[in-house]
């Protein structure tokens, strides 16, 4: 029953030979208006659609509503070494490290405590490019998560100079033209290269900050869990001659 108007009762389903009787009674009553199916004296019944239906309203994006999450369009920040790092046969050298800046405010970055807000940004690595000069020979390139570099190198912004403004909230430590090595840490990815090659880093997890914050001015101090995650690019020369190596790193940033 969907409605009563005076002596008219509107039903949403008619009585049939399969369900021959319908009794319309008030709450608590045991008797009321009875409708009985008759093939020769049918009862006029108005069939009606329900007067309500469920509805869902949402705004924004959700995987359950829209099918999946898509990455937002963003700048692909890039840093490349402009000085080559000469690596002898059988030797290993670090080319660069990257991290989120420990603290930020008003688009400015600094060490922990130098700015008002602990940087909780997510840094998503995009790609790594490697090229070298000299005799063609194999190189093993690895990305080391939270390793400790052997040299004390100052962190700078993504364009390589602390006085130059840019929209990135990440920091780079470049070991180009040096002989820095790395101890500890975990291998997050790697590949062989013999000439020029590009490694997709989108499967590597995001880099972030530690829960309690931290992070010093130099690349070999205050590494996670005493500061942000660091990712260091390490190259081992597997050939028989020296190789002068250059590297380029690309990444995106989820800035809140």
Q: 58-72, 175-189, 237-251: which has the minimum mean pLDDT?
A: 58-72
Give residue 157's pLDDT: 86
Average pLDDT, the chain: 81
Report whether 112 contacts 216 (CB < 8 A). yes
Reply yes or no on whether the pLDDT at 94 is more than 90.
yes
Mean local confidence (pLDDT), 137-158: 91
* Rounded (10°) CA dihedral 8, 9, 10, 15: -130
Confidence band, pLDDT 50/70/90 cuts, at residue 3: low
Of the spans 86-100, 163-177, 192-206, which averages the highest pLDDT? 86-100
Please give the average per-residue pLDDT across 221-230, as a whole number. 91
What confidence tens digit (pLDDT) does each residue in 239-252 have?
899 999 999 999 99
pLDDT at residue 93 is higher than 90 = yes
pLDDT of residue 154: 92
Its pTM stands at: 0.70
Is residue 140 over pLDDT 70? yes
Asked if the model's pLDDT at residue 50 lies above 90, the reply is no
Q: How far apart are CA 166 and CA 144, in angstroms?
A: 26
User: From residue 253, how far is each of 167, 207, 217, 218 by CA, in Å?
Assistant: 10, 10, 21, 22
pLDDT at 235 over 90: yes
Q: Delimit the domains of the chain by residue range.
A: 7-51, 77-254
Q: Looking at residues 52-62, what average pLDDT do you find?
A: 54
**Digit-coded pLDDT (tens) for 210-222:** 988 889 899 999 8
* pLDDT tens by residue, 12-47: 566 676 667 766 666 766 677 777 767 777 666 655
């Amino acid at each position: 029953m969907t409605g009563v108007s005076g002596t008219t009762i509107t039903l949403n389903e008619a009585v049939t030979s399969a369900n021959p009787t319908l009794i319309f009674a008030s709450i608590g009553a045991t008797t009321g208006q009875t409708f009985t199916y008759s093939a020769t004296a049918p009862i006029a019944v108005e069939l009606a659609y329900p007067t309500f239906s469920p509805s869902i309203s949402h705004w924004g994006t959700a995987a359950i509503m829209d099918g999946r999450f898509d990455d937002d369009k963003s700048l692909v920040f890039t840093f490349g070494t402009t000085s080559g790092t000469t690596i002898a046969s059988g030797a290993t050298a670090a080319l660069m490290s990257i991290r989120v800046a420990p603290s930020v405010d008003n688009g400015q970055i600094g060490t922990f405590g130098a700015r008002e807000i602990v940087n909780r940004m997510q840094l998503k690595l995009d790609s790594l490019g490697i090229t070298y000069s000299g005799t063609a020979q194999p190189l093993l390139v690895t990305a080391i998560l939270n390793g400790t570099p052997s040299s004390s190198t100052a962190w700078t912004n993504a364009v390589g100079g602390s006085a130059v403004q840019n929209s990135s909230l990440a920091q780079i430590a470049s070991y180009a033209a040096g002989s820095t090595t790395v101890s500890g840490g975990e291998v997050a990815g790697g590949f062989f290269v013999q000439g020029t090659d590009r490694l997709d880093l989108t499967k590597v997890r995001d880099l972030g900050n530690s829960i309690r914050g931290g992070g010093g001015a130099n690349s070999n101090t205050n590494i996670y869990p005493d500061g942000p995650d660091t990712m260091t690019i390490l190259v081992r020369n597997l050939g028989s001659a020296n190789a002068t190596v250059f590297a380029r790193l690309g990444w995106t940033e989820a800035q809140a």
